[in-house]
Amino acid sequence: MDDLDIRIAGRAGRITLTRDRALNALTHDMAQALHRALEGWRDDPAVALVVIDAAGDRAFCAGGDIAAVYHAGMAGDHQRGRDFFRDEYRMNAAIATFPKPIVAFMQGFVMGGGVGVGGHASHRIVGDTTRIAMPESGIGLIPDVGGSWLLGRAPGRIGEYLALTGARMGPGDAIHAGFADLYIPEADWPDLIARLERDGDVSALTGQPVPAAVLDRRDLSAFGGRHLPDIVAALEAAGDDEALAALRRNSPLSMAAGLALVRAARADHRMQQSLTREYRFTARATAESDFLEGVRAQIIDKDRSPRWQAGADEDKVRALLAPLDQDDLLWEDAE
């Protein structure tokens, strides 16, 4: 397909996102094709490892292409979104559980759906241009694609901070927060990929000294508040205007639900549990949340002035995260 270059090069299965004019935003077809490629290589003895990279220098993948989901939802078709998210999450899980090494080279923007592709690889490479974020609360969604799993494992209160603010991480912070593994200058990537293709051996991956992190020095104790109003009050008391500006800009419902998801994920022992919980929100998103309004403001009309309407009380959050009964996202290998 035009948006992905899927091939075998030497001993490596190779997946290159080639939609660089759209910042390699992930479409439904791309998610399904990526998943099919992995399934085809799972037991192929010719493939020793998989390398995922992207064309262009601006983005590895800046998120999911949700315009089609928006237009379908506005027309009353909520199944389009459910199908997209379900298939995307299955692809995310396939990356996380793949029995062979997957090496992701993540330059530029790596946001939302891009984290779902690169953030669950076994070997996650970042460079100087890398900027990783889970900014879904700004469009009325929640940290999904297994994002709540990663956020729940970040040190201290970094997970809550990133989920609520959507803040971007450079390479040092991304490694510190557990979203990446190795820092390697991007100029070295082509030769390194060539070695991986030739040898099929991840021992060639050797990181260089990690750039300084910022998050490990920032006081994020306010994000330990039990509920969103408690966090806002603590930030006000601390005079943290930067964080407050983000919280006042983003969807209250999305932040409240994201907070619950990150904390619930800390008790999960496999990423699929987090994905199932995330799907309960996203399956309902076009019909029962501020998602359509957030997409309108940020992506369709681009006026950057969403008019949030959905309440953020505990009952609403609980309803959006409740099991979907026969429509829950289930896994064949569930324990």
Q: What is the pLDDT of residues 145-192, one digit of tens each?
A: 999 999 999 999 999 999 999 999 999 999 999 999 999 999 999 999
Q: Catalytic one among 113, 119, 146, 200?
A: 113
Catalytic (active site) residue 136: yes
Whether residue 333 is contained in a domain is answered as: no
Q: What is the pLDDT of residues 275-308, one digit of tens each?
A: 999 999 999 999 999 999 999 999 999 999 999 9
Instruction: Give residue 179's domain range.
Output: 4-323
Whether residue 304 is contained in a domain is answered as: yes
Q: How far is Cα of residue 46 from the mean position of the Cα atoms in its chain?
A: 30
Catalytic (active site) residue 57: no
Whether residue 334 is contained in a domain is answered as: no
Catalytic (active site) residue 288: no
pLDDT of res. 333: 66
Q: What is the pLDDT of residues 84-110, one digit of tens each?
A: 999 999 999 999 999 999 999 999 999
Catalytic (active site) residue 186: no
Whether residue 209 is contained in a domain is answered as: yes
Question: Is the whole model's pTM more than 0.85, yes or no?
Answer: yes
Q: Catalytic one among 65, 88, 144, 293?
A: 144
Q: What is the pLDDT of residues 180-196, one digit of tens each?
A: 999 999 999 999 999 99
The band of 138, judged by pLDDT with boundaries at 50, 70 and 90, is: very high
pLDDT (mean) for 294-323: 94
HSE value, Cβ hemisphere, 13 Å, CA-based, for 40: 13
CB contact at 8 A, 59 and 26? no
Q: How many structural domains does the chain have?
A: 1
The band of 335, judged by pLDDT with boundaries at 50, 70 and 90, is: very low
**Cross-strand pairs, 4:** 17
Whether residue 210 is contained in a domain is answered as: yes
Which CATH number does the domain housing residue 310 bear?
3.90.226.10
Q: Catalytic one among 64, 81, 116, 200?
A: 64
**Cross-strand pairs, 169:** 132
Residue with tokens 């006081």: 219
Q: Catalytic one among 53, 65, 88, 136?
A: 136
pLDDT of res. 198: 97
Q: What is the pLDDT of residues 220-246, one digit of tens each?
A: 999 999 999 999 999 999 999 999 999
